[in-house]
Amino acid sequence: MPQDEQDPADRAALEAAVAVGNIPTLLLVLVQLTGDLRWLQEPYRPTRSRGLGDNPTGGLDQAVQDEVRAAAVQAIAAWRAGTPVAVPEPSAELLVQMLGVSMGEPVPLDYADMLAHELGLDDEPPAPAPPAPGFRALVIGAGASGLCAGVHLGRAGIPYTVLERNHDVGGVWHENRYPGAGVDTPSHLYSFSFAPNDWSRWFAGQQEIRDYFERVADDFGVRARTRFGVEVTAATWDDDAQEWEVTARTADGEETLRCSVLISAVGAFNKPKVPDIAGLAEFRGPVAHTARWPEDLDLTDQRVAVLGNGASAMQLVPAIADRARSVTVFQRSPQWAAPFEQFHQDVPPAVHWLYREVPLYETWYRLRLGWTFNDRIHGALQKDPAWEHPERSISAANDGHRRAFTRYIVEQLGDRQDLLPAVLPTYPPFGKRMLLDNGWFATMTRDDVELVTDRVARLTADAVVTEAGEEHEADVVVLATGFDVVRFLAPMRVTGRDGRVLHDEWADDDPRAYLGSTVPGFPNFFTLYGPNLQFGHGGSLLFMIELQLHYVADLLRQVVEQGIGAVECRQDVHDAYNDDVDAAHDRMVWTHPGMDVYYRNSRGRVVVNNPFTVVDFWHRLRHADLADYVTTPAVAQVSA
């Protein structure tokens, strides 16, 4: 309900909130609330946003900022008092103009539909038809993908059960509890559109994210439909019954379940990669993988050896350096890391008020974040065949990123420039997963932190020994060695039509799927966060998952309405799509030589990352076309 703008306490809260609001976002709110397009012109046009920051002042003079804030207070107060939004449904051209002005750079027109959808301006999906009796789904996994699947299946009226091997929901955020664990996507992008959250920090930590997923499970009834302590080991398609027979392991032994639709929501980051190092079992102190962190592991005054320097280590090491006696990091190769100013910073209380009371502000703030973290750098990841320095970068734009990131590393090292050769990557920026620096380089300069670049040869009872023969004494060994992400769904055995085994089809580590979601020969089976579905250039995993579930729900709606019993992707459609994926990757940084990157399989093919822009993939997944599929009438219709 709109509130009386004359209420002094309410007015004071509004003024306090707008005083710390993001200027480019406030400009967009002003345009919609007032309809006055002068806020998109000089002198109000923000400068181009740099890096990953949200450009809070827009680069505008103080007097101009004050004018914007004063106008925003008046417009929001009037709206809260009952004045209708002047431009409730901006045109496509105005939407991209608004976002482009706020970012200080052009936004293509093909983003308009996606912006309209995020603003809630597009058409509602058609009401689902009730499925036939006995039509039901099983979802494997209760992490982010499984929870989202449950919500979409519930909305579609399809009975479902989620099977989860752990004792609670949350997936990787339930399992990864190491010190410093958190998200490297802005919190306001790392939430479902159907379940916004009042995040306490700009980049949330593990516990808050875990709490969020548990709340989603409760609020949307997914927990009530989840069986915990159930691990799926195999699934076989029954062509006669048009059902999947699923074998699961429980505390009471093995059991068999059946379903019409099987959805894998096991994710990719769920199989810790344990290195084959001689003597690992002989080390007498604790040995812990970051993904299996013991709750009782106390690192206080311990000599800690950390094997690995990827995303987990970059969060862990700065978090434990103050409490450990010493930390020794064994690095395989240097990592690029971008600065981000808002890491570990709380969202101010006044901003919480603004998000809660002015939803339009939160939506536009999220859309601006989306542009920054989604497709903005996609062009800089394309190889320039004429570029003269492929040994260090792939194009002039990519070389510009190298210079900027190098300057940042140099600044962070301060008077420890002796570390620069060890921490400065030789491969192009974004060639590996771009990390966000939460104090890694500064931590490397500490007297009680040592960076070792020689490879680990073996472990003794109390030390890590390098190939050069140097011994580094340790009380605790931490394996920050990542995950086996190229063997999707392993070790689960999935057998489709005519006895086809999925991992044989995928040749162990060469997974392929149409839109990352469905495979020929495996009817009524969908893989969430499947092959080539991670946006390597940015984007939010939760956004991608929602795209997938929108597509799957649309396909299942048509299956139910048309009495289809089995639906599977056509082979030619699948192959053409994957040819497009590979061709796009050939032009991108992830196939550049000279890098060992988890995105690629043993054959050098990129199987994890999606090469397309976020907006391109959004359009691909908006509607399911049954012409892309082979369909079989439901058994009941065949026998009638």
**Where are the chain's structural domains?**
8-124+359-373, 137-271+485-639, 280-336+384-479
- Phi, psi at 39, each rounded to 5°: -70, -10
Residues 160-170, mean pLDDT to the nearest whole number: 96
Residues 528-586: tens digit of each pLDDT: 999 999 888 877 889 999 999 999 999 999 999 999 999 999 999 999 999 999 999 99
Domain 137-271+485-639 identical in fold to domain 280-336+384-479: yes
For residue 158, name the pLDDT band (cuts at 50, 70, 90): very high
Helix 92-103 vs helix 359-373: angle between axes, to the nearest 10 degrees?
A: 70
Looking at every residue in the chain, the average pLDDT score rounds to 93
Average pLDDT value for residue range 45-69: 93
CA distances from 236 to 38, 141, 413 (A): 62, 18, 55
| Domain 137-271+485-639 CATH superfamily | FAD/NAD(P)-binding domain (3.50.50.60)
Q: For position 269, what pLDDT does the model report?
A: 67
Per-residue pLDDT band at 637 (split at 50, 70, 90): very low
Buried/exposed code over 188-223 (b: 16+ C-beta within 10 A; e: otherwise): bbbbbeebebebebbbbbbebbbebbbebbeebebb
Q: Which range has the worst mean pLDDT, 117-121, 461-465, 521-525, 625-629?
A: 117-121
CA distance 17 to 12: 9
Quick check: 31 pLDDT over 50? yes
pLDDT digits (tens, 9 = 90+) for 393-404: 999 999 999 999
CA 267 to chain centre: 11
Q: How far is CA 576 from the centre of its chain?
A: 26
d(CA 577, CA 579): 5
Write out pLDDT tens, residues 424-444. Answer: 999 999 998 888 898 999 999
pTM of the model: 0.93
Overall size of the chain counted in residues: 640
pLDDT at 5: 46
What pLDDT score does 636 carry? 64
Whether the CB-CB separation of 160 and 557 falls below 8 Å is answered with: no
Q: What percent of the chain has pLDDT over 70?
A: 98
Q: Which run of H or E residues covers position 76? A: helix 62-80
- Percent of the chain at pLDDT > 90 equals 80
**157-162 mean pLDDT:** 97
**Band of the pLDDT at 493, cuts 50, 70, 90?**
very high
Handedness of CA 94, 110, 123, 24 (dihedral sign): negative
Residue-wise pLDDT tens digits, 134-151: 999 999 999 999 999 999
Give the C-alpha distances (Å, rounded to integers) separating 177 from 201, 206, 326, 489: 18, 7, 21, 23
pLDDT of the residue at 640: 32
pLDDT tier for residue 3 given thresholds of 50, 70 and 90 = very low
| Residue 119 pLDDT greater than 80, yes or no | yes
Rounded to an integer, the average pLDDT of 142-169 is 96
For the beta carbon of residue 61, count every other beta carbon within 10 angstroms.
11
Per-residue pLDDT band for 638 (boundaries 50, 70, 90) equals: very low
CATH of domain 280-336+384-479: 3.50.50.60
Q: Which helix (H) or strand (E) holds 17?
A: helix 8-19
Report the alpha-carbon distance of residue 376 to residue 268 in Å, rounded: 25
- List residues bridging with 305 in a β-sheet: 328, 477
Least confident of 15-29, 143-157, 293-307, 332-346: 332-346
For residue range 340-391, list pLDDT tens digits in order: 777 778 999 999 999 999 999 999 999 999 898 888 889 889 999 999 999 9
Q: What is the structure's pLDDT at 433?
A: 84
| More reliable by pLDDT, 124 or 393 | 393
> Over 50: is that where the pLDDT of 131 sits?
yes
Helix (H, G, I), strand (E, B) or coil at 213: helix
CA distances from 308 to 317, 336, 418 (A): 10, 14, 21
What local confidence, expressed as pLDDT, does residue 558 receive?
95
